[in-house]
Each structure stands twice: as C-alpha cells, then as structure tokens.
Amino acid sequence: MYHLSRYVLIQHIKMYSEGAGIPYPKAVNSRPSDFYKAAARYSMAYNRFLRTVKKEDILIQDYQKKAQLLVKQIRELRSECAELHKRLQKVEQNSDQNLSIKAESVQKVRAMWASIMETLKLLEKEKEVVDSVLKGHVDQYVLDGTDVTICVPRLLLDKIENVMYKLQIGNVYEAGKLNVLTVIQLLNESLKMLMSERQQVDQEALKLDVLCIEGKTKFQNEIFLGLKSMRHKLKREDHVSINESIAEKQTEWDMKWESCLGQSPFCLIKDQNPVSSIFPQCGCFGRCKRQ
C-alpha cells in the first residue's frame, strides 16, 4: 500500500513538475542508505496515511449518512408538497363550491325575504286586526239591533204581504230590537223580485233588426255622397259666376273711365308726364259727375 501510494505520489509530482517547468528531484527515486530510518519513516507515514484515510472514511460515511438523510428528507418534502398541492386543489374546489353554495343560499334568502315582505303587505289588514285585539279594542260594540231603525219600502212591503203565506218571515223588531235574520230574508226576497223584473224587462226589450239598420246605413251613406258631390258642383258654379261678375264689373269700370277721359286709364301710364295730362281730364270727369 505504501509503495502504491508512493508511486502514485511520485507520478503526480513528476507530471506537475514537467508541466510547470519545475526540475524533477532525482532524490525522490534514490533509495535510502539506512533501512532503519526508512522503516521508521515508513511506519510514521503509514500511520499518518492510515489516520488520514480513517478520517476521510469517517467524513465520507458522515457525508453519505447526511446525504441519505437529505435525500430522504427531500423525498418526504416532495411527497408532502404533492399532498399539500392536492389538498390545495381540493380546498380551491371546495371554496368554489362553497362560493356557489353561498351565492345560491343568498339568492334563496333574498327570494324568501321578498316573499315574506309581500306576505306582510298582504296581511296588513289582518295585522291591524290582531293589533287591535292585542290592544283590547274588541268587544266594545255589540250588534244587537238596539237603537237601529229600518225603513221597508212600501212596494216591497205590499209584495211581501201578498206572499206572506208562502214565506216564513218573522217581525222586523222583536222585544224592541232589530231582528237581523228577518232583515236578511227581506233582502233576499227583494233581490229575487229585482231579478225577476229584470228578466221580464230583458224579454220585453227591443230586439235590434240588423238588416234594417244596415239598409238605413247604406241609404244614409248614399245621401251623404250625393250631398258631397252637390256641394262640389255648387262651389265650382259659384266660382265661375263670381269670376264672370268680376270681369263684367271691370269692363264697365274701363268703359266709364274711357267715357270720362276719352281713353283707357292704362294708356296714361305710357305718357311722359301723366300728371299734367290727367288734370284737364279730371276736370272734365268732375263736370261729368256734376252733370
């Protein structure tokens, strides 16, 4: 072992000295003159080498143990990370589901609240009744017919008296109090009489003749169209007669001016000095009017 290590060391020194330009010591290959010293050196080097190798072996074993522990820890951490990642995914899914469930529950609560509010609005009158009962505002009035006067129409009274033998109707007042049952019976009989009279009136009512009404409508439409055409005709004739009368009046006016002025008034516009030429004619026109 020593010789192997020595040989390896010498080869390394030789290689490094050749590459670096350092002279290779020849004394390294020389054999020692004293074998005892060489043996002592050998034993000392052997012991040092052995201690060094043992230390390195212990360090290597420690490093290997630490490496194994670290590898084991890394594997455990990776497995734990994978498990945590799975848990995180499950938590995210659960959170999404929880959010959707919460949203659905919120919508349900809102719908229930809206229905409750609508129900409360519908039950406002009942609530007032319950409040009045709780406050003691009940049993203050008794419907016993006391101090109540009722007037039965004479026509209804006559008809009830005529059919009294068929009906079982008591008195309206008994012991000074109003008999509500009798009042209800009177109301029912009056409603029956009203319905019978209405049926009689409906049977005797005027029945409309649709064909007759359609014929009258058609006749009235024809009369309306004739009047409309007559109005247009009269309007055209009046327009023509008015235009003719205007033309006649205009010709009469022109003839009167010509008789007074001796010429048409439109000819005066062509003169250079129509004012000076019209004065004598105006005098003549004045004389003509005085005559």
In a domain, residue 54? The reply is: yes
Distance CA 19, CA 29 (A): 19
Task: Show which of 203, 228, 248 is a domain's final residue.
Answer: 203
What's the 3-state SS for the chain?
A: CHHHHHHHHHHHHHHHHHHHCCCCCHHHCCCCCCHHHHHHHHHHHHHHHHHHHHHHHHHHHHHHHHHHHHHHHHHHHHHHHHHHHHHHHHHHHHHHHHHHHHHHHHHHHHHHHHHHHHHHHHCHHHHHHHHHHHHCCCCCCCCCCCCCCCCCCHHHHHHHHHCCCCCCCCCCEECCEECHHHHHHHHHHHHHHHHHHHHHHHHCCCCCCHHHHHHHHHHHHHHHHHHHHHHHHHHHHHHHHHHHHHHHHHHHHHHHHHHHHCCCHHHHHHCCCHHHHHHHHHHHHHHHHHC
Domain that holds residue 88: 2-96
Q: What is the pLDDT of residues 162-197, one digit of tens each?
A: 766 666 777 777 777 777 777 788 888 888 888 888
Q: Is residue 101 part of a domain?
A: no
Q: What pLDDT, on a 0 to 100 scale, did the predictor assign at position 29?
A: 57
Same domain assignment for residues 89 and 10? yes
166 inside domain: yes
pLDDT at 257: 76
| pLDDT tens string 95-104 | 888 888 888 9
Q: Are residues 196 and 248 in the same domain?
A: no
Residue reference for tokens 């020849």: 26
Residue 105 is assigned to a structural domain of this protein:
no
Distance of CA 94 to the CA centre of its chain: 32
At 113, the amino acid letter reads W
Whether residue 185 contacts residue 169, with contact meaning beta carbons closer than 8 Å, is answered with yes
Same domain, yes or no: 199 and 245: no
CA 59 to chain centre: 79
In a domain, 110, yes or no: no
pLDDT at 291: 42
Whole-number Å distance between alpha carbons of 291 and 283: 12
Same domain, 8 and 87: yes
Please identify every stretch of the chain with a pLDDT value under 50, giving residue numbers as ranges: 272, 274-291
Q: What is the pLDDT of residue 20?
A: 54
* CA-CA-CA-CA dihedral for 43, 49, 52, 58, to nearest 10: -90
In DSSP terms, 174 is beta-bridged to 177
- Domain stop point among 35, 69, 96: 96
* 283 and 199 within one domain: no
The domain tally of the chain equals 3
What pTM does this model have?
0.27
